[in-house]
Amino acid sequence: MKVRVKMFANLQEISGTSEVFLDAETVLSALDQLVRMFEGLKPEIFEDYERKQLMARIKIMVNGTSIDYIDGLKTVLREGDRVAVFPILAGG
Amino acid sequence: MTSKILRVDMNELKVSCEEVPERWRNLGGRALTSTIVAEEVPPTCHPLGPRNKLVFASGIVTGTSAPTSGRISVGGKSPLTGGIKEANAGTSFAQKLARAGIKAIIVQGMSKDKYYLLNIAKGKRDLIEATPWCGRGLYEAFAQLREKFGKDVAICATGIAGELSGAAAGVAFNDIEGLSSRYAGRGGLGAVMATRGLKFIVVDDEGGPGVEIKDKELFKKGTKKLTDALTTHGVTKPGGTLNTYGTDALINVINEAGALPHRNFSSGYDELAPLVGGEKKAETIKKRGGERPHMCSPGCIIQCSEVWVKEGGKDPVGVLEYESVWALGPNCGIYNLDDVGELNRACNDLGVDTIEMGDTIAVAMEGGLAKFGDGKKALELMEEIRKGTPLGRILANGTEFTGKALGVTRIPTVKGQGIPAYDPRPIKGIGVTYATTPMGADHTAGYAIAPEILGVGGKVDPLDTKKADLSRGLQQATAFIDTSGYCLFIAFAVMDIPEGLEGAVESCNAVLGTKWTVNDAVALGAKVLDIERNFNKAAGLTRAHDRIPEFMKLEPLPPKNVVYDVTDAELDKVYPN
Ligand code: SF4
């Protein structure tokens, strides 16, 4: 499935880009490819890469819905999905 | 206790110092302004008539060395909502007022025909005629006042919009550069100030008594706990997201969540949003030689602020906050930071609240006065306020007034106040806060976005419609923070790090000599809300006013295509009595 992965805040600075297009069946596969493309993102996204454990505060949305309310890292992606990855942030 | 209440009688042009009554002693900020307004202002009075009052109070720890605590509350009956209002700002004015030994200023009565400046300096509390600075933009006026009274004075003002009695008029304060960019913006209190005949307050705290701290050891302990929390948490620490990108980092996350209102709340997502996001803005400021990070008031360790400048580093505006960028940008279909910067400059110059003005312009665009996306025309509309034309007077009265004048039915307001930068249709809890806070649509009153979207202070599903308990708890905690003098942004850290909240409460205890627990602090917040709601009830506001605009229940918001479906019964559960 061709999907669009968007990165924000310091993730943009680390990767030097704001989005990439990937072929991925699940969110985990998309993130896996992302951190292999940009090694510097690994410690920002994964607390424990081997165990595929995400950083506590990293936020991942698929088409605007947090994966916490879909199927976590196992969330299945469809053609044209938009995956957004944010570090912890807030404002007001 | 050395601090005093300053009563400014604009009928008699008399300023008097009063002892602080026992019952007000342990109050500050919002608790104090709301208590004074509830005691002294008849709830049914006309907000711009002779019986309304305007009250200023710094927070409990403001003026001490407590971190991130330069906040001032301004209170009165709101011409926008018809209810009680507390609006607050971060500014050195708050700290100087507290250090000058003034716990609150109560401005009452109305001068006959002239505008005045209240000059508070060593041994002086004088009312001076302010006519020379009337009808002028506030950037120019602030520069002239600093020229006349000294570079280190702090300034508070109402602008041209206030002079027009516009319900969108805010109360302006100086930032650390002396620009008129810090606002207690919401609710039209600038019009209350102007109708008293008070145009400016200038404060010089030199030689003032300072803020007494009853227990210095406890103060040290409490502020250290808070400082540790602020410098550890990913949102508030140096180099954290607030410090690096400012509040505007939210543009992208809220847009991605499908909840950033575009073109007068007609869509929740647009591909163009990143053009005005915090990432883009921080990069532009760096290139142009503006400032980022920056603090709105001395002693802030979060430093979320900035100085936006034009190409070539010229013409500083001050901060472009998330709310302002959204209101004057995507909400008007404008995705150009330079246009947003100039619109924000116009707001600061004319003395209007950026959120209210952004909502107003978007409604005016929907009503056919300009095309969505036309930044130049939006600026021309704002210039109508400067000229005082009939159209300018309509716009200066805010979103609802403008919508009615133009026959627009999609009017995003609650209790007459413009809805801020989160569409409540896909984020239900923030809608519960908009509907039920005594303040009218106000995100800061109970910031449900933190757990609903940001995963700060817990995690809850934004689409879950059972949010009464969440909103009530946040509203109570917020009412306490608004009382303490700490910036609300400490909440991001202290919601996740309990020792930080303990430290904030301990620092208040240290100043006052009280023995509050964290629960007592939240109970004080609940009491403040009771006072405010009772005022509103007596002013004629009912449960029918605790509602989200009808169009949000009828029109699904793309791209999630959801309506606002929290039941009235759930909204009424926030305040069962
Ligand atoms: S965090 Fe931002 S708004 Fe709050 S006091 Fe600091 S600079 Fe001002």
Q: Which of A84, A2, A80, A77 is nearest to B255 (CA)?
A: A84
Per-residue pLDDT at B1 exceeds 90: no
Which pLDDT tens digit goes with each residue over B222-275?
999 999 999 999 999 999 999 999 999 999 999 999 999 999 999 999 999 999
Q: Tell me which residue range forms the domain holding A44.
A: 2-87
Entry field: residues in chain A: 92
Sequence-ordered list of residues with C-beta below 8 angstroms from that of B540, at least 6 positions apart, any chain: B43, B44, B82
The whole-angstrom separation of Cα B34 and Cα B78 is 12
B33: Cβ below 6 Å to ligand 1?
no
Report chain B residues whose CB lies below 8 A from the CB of A59. 253, 454-455
- Sequence spans of domains, chain B: 4-204, 248-423
Report chain A residues whose CB lies below 8 A from the CB of B248. 91
Residue B69 CA to ligand 1 center (angstroms) comes to 8
- Whether B274 contacts chain A with CB within 8 A: yes
**Contact, B48 vs B41, CB < 8 A?**
no
B302: Cβ below 6 Å to ligand 1?
yes
**Contact, A33 vs A24, CB < 8 A?**
yes
**Contact, A61 vs A67, CB < 8 A?**
yes
Q: Residue B433: what pLDDT?
A: 98
Torsion of CA B216, B218, B223, B228, to 10 degrees: 140
**Mean pLDDT score across all residues of chain B:** 97
Sequence-ordered list of residues with C-beta below 8 angstroms from that of B345, at least 6 positions apart, any chain: B139, B315, B317
Q: Is B73 exposed, middle or buried (0-12, 13-18, 19+ CB in 10 A)?
A: buried
- Whether B51 contacts chain A with CB within 8 A: no
Residue A92 pLDDT class (50, 70, 90 cuts)? confident
- Whether A86 contacts chain B with CB within 8 A: yes
**B217 alpha carbon, distance to own chain's centre:** 33
The whole-angstrom separation of Cα B181 and Cα B225 is 31
The whole-angstrom separation of Cα B9 and Cα B16 is 8
The average pLDDT across B565-577 equals 97
B97: Cβ below 6 Å to ligand 1?
no
Rounded to a whole number of angstroms, the distance from the CA of B492 to the nearest CA of chain A is 7
- Residue that has been written with the tokens 């002294």 in this structure: B40
Rounded to a whole number of angstroms, the distance from the CA of A62 to the nearest CA of chain B is 9
Q: Name the residue at shortest CA distance from atom 2 of ligand 1.
A: B304
Rounded to a whole number of angstroms, the distance from the CA of A15 to the nearest CA of chain B is 14
Per-residue pLDDT at B206 exceeds 90: yes
DSSP letter assigned to residue B295: -
How far CA B279 is from CA of B50, B82, B97, B304, in Å, comes to 47, 38, 36, 13
| Residue in chain A lying closest to B241 (CA) | A89
Q: Residue B2: what pLDDT?
A: 72
Rounded to a whole number of angstroms, the distance from the CA of B431 to the nearest CA of chain A is 15
Q: At what angle do helices B518-539 and B29-40 cross, to 10 degrees?
A: 30
- Whether B180 contacts chain A with CB within 8 A: no
Residue B490 CA to ligand 1 center (angstroms) comes to 9
The CATH H-level superfamily of B4-204 is: Aldehyde ferredoxin oxidoreductase, N-terminal domain (3.60.9.10)
Question: Do the domain assignments include residue A32?
Answer: yes
- Whether B247 contacts chain A with CB within 8 A: yes
Which pLDDT tens digit goes with each residue over B50-62?
999 999 999 999 9
Entry field: residues in chain B: 577
The whole-angstrom separation of Cα B70 and Cα B90 is 5
The whole-angstrom separation of Cα B23 and Cα B214 is 18
- Whether A19 contacts chain B with CB within 8 A: no
- The yes/no answer to whether this complex scores an ipTM above 0.95 is yes
The whole-angstrom separation of Cα B377 and Cα B60 is 44
Q: Could B454 and A59 be called an inter-chain contact, meaning their C-beta atoms sit closer than 8 Å?
A: yes
B303: Cβ below 6 Å to ligand 1?
yes
**Percent of chain A residues past pLDDT 70, beyond the cut:** 100
**Contact, A57 vs B234, CB < 8 A?**
yes
B382: Cβ below 6 Å to ligand 1?
no
Which pLDDT tens digit goes with each residue over B398-425?
999 999 999 999 999 999 999 999 999 9
Nearest to A91 among B250, B268, B455 (CB): B250
B72: Cβ below 6 Å to ligand 1?
no
Please state, as a whole number, how many other Cβ atoms lie within 10 Å of the Cβ of residue A47. Answer: 13
**B542 alpha carbon, distance to own chain's centre:** 24
Residue B242 CA to ligand 1 center (angstroms) comes to 9
Torsion of CA B411, B415, B419, B425, to 10 degrees: -80
Per-residue pLDDT at A40 exceeds 90: yes
Residue A91 pLDDT class (50, 70, 90 cuts)? confident
Laid out side by side, the sheet with B182-184 consists of B124-129, B116-121, B198-203, B154-157, B171-173, B182-184
Atom of ligand 1 nearest to the CA of B294: 7
Mutate to test the interface with A, among B279, B422, B433 (most CBs of A within 10 A): B279
Atom of ligand 1 nearest to the CA of B295: 7
Alpha helices, DSSP H only, in B416-467?
428-436, 449
Question: Do the domain assignments include residue A53?
Answer: yes
Which pLDDT tens digit goes with each residue over B67-125?
999 999 999 999 999 999 999 999 999 999 999 999 999 999 999 989 999 999 988 99
Which pLDDT tens digit goes with each residue over B351-405?
999 999 999 999 999 999 999 999 999 999 999 999 999 999 999 999 999 999 9
Question: Do the domain assignments include residue A92?
Answer: no
Sequence-ordered list of residues with C-beta below 8 angstroms from that of A39, at least 6 positions apart, any chain: none
- Whether B437 contacts chain A with CB within 8 A: no
Query: What CATH topology corresponds to B248-423?
Result: 1.10.569
Atom of ligand 1 nearest to the CA of B490: 1
The amino acid occupying position B499 is: E
Residue A57 pLDDT class (50, 70, 90 cuts)? confident
User: What CATH number does residue A61 fall under?
Assistant: 3.10.20.30
> Residue A39 forms beta bridges with which residues?
none
Q: Could A90 and B492 be called an inter-chain contact, meaning their C-beta atoms sit closer than 8 Å?
A: yes
Number of domains in chain A: 1
B304: Cβ below 6 Å to ligand 1?
yes
Please state, as a whole number, how many other Cβ atoms lie within 10 Å of the Cβ of residue B104. Answer: 26
